[in-house]
Amino acid sequence: MNDNTPGQKQSFIDDYAGVYPLRIIRSQTISLLLLPNVLLLILAFADPYVPVWAWLLLVPLVMMDMLGLAVVVSPGRMQEFHLFVLGAVGVLGSAAFAAAANKLAYATLGISSPWFLIVSAAGYILVFATLYGIHIKLLYGGRYSREASDNQETETRGAKKAQGIILACSGLGVLLSCVLIKTFGGYSMKVMLIIALLFLFALAYMMLAGNLHKYWLLKKRR
């Protein structure tokens, strides 16, 4: 049972809901946008070019770039908004990478079954929701607090371990699924590895989505 008082929980939130230092905001934003701009542009216009898939990749990319540009141009004024941008990049980037993987599966490999899209979408939602639930548990358990006690660390160790297990299992599941599809479907191993890599990028960017919660808490506190 969690014995944290409301005051302790608010202290944990105050520790968590902080902005990033100005010196890293611009470089952090540029580095996070570099990978999507390279990969998504290539995949959007790669053969075979399919307008629907191109739109699904380019619209999130344009939205990320517009948000990122505001931070890069004026990081001092956008120090708090930077948290929102990071969270938005996490959501939009992870969704775009997952869409890019589906584009390769359907447009390049010629997979006709809708199950690839259904399973990948369900997996994305499940992992996202599970990681967010663990994030909430870690937050209110004091895991993000600068002054967390040993008892609080013990209480949240299980949640932190579960988070690592989910990430590892998700990555292994992606790789295993791609190998099975290649084995039984006879598809190109090179393309399947690219698909697996795109899903792993989606998983990595998904971890940034928690910054939306941080931004909301920061605004709520004021």
| 84-133 confidence digits (pLDDT tens) | 999 999 999 999 999 999 999 999 888 888 988 999 999 999 989 988 88
Cα distances (Å, whole numbers) of residue 187 to 98, 108, 109, 149, 165: 19, 10, 7, 52, 29
Q: Which of 35-39, 79-83, 97-101 has the lowest mean pLDDT?
A: 79-83
pTM of the model: 0.83
Q: 1 lies in a domain? A: no
Overall domain count for the chain: 1
- What pLDDT was estimated at residue 100? 95
pLDDT digits (tens, 9 = 90+) for 152-203: 555 556 666 666 777 777 777 777 777 777 676 667 788 888 898 999 999 9
Q: Do the domain assignments include residue 206?
A: yes
Residue 62 belongs to some domain of the structure: yes
Domain containing residue 157: 6-221
Q: How far apart are CA 194 and CA 133, in angstroms?
A: 29
Quote the radius of gyration of the chain (alpha carbons, Å): 19
Higher pLDDT among residues 31 and 165, named by residue: 31
Our CA dihedral for 195, 199, 201, 206, rounded to 10 degrees, sits at 160
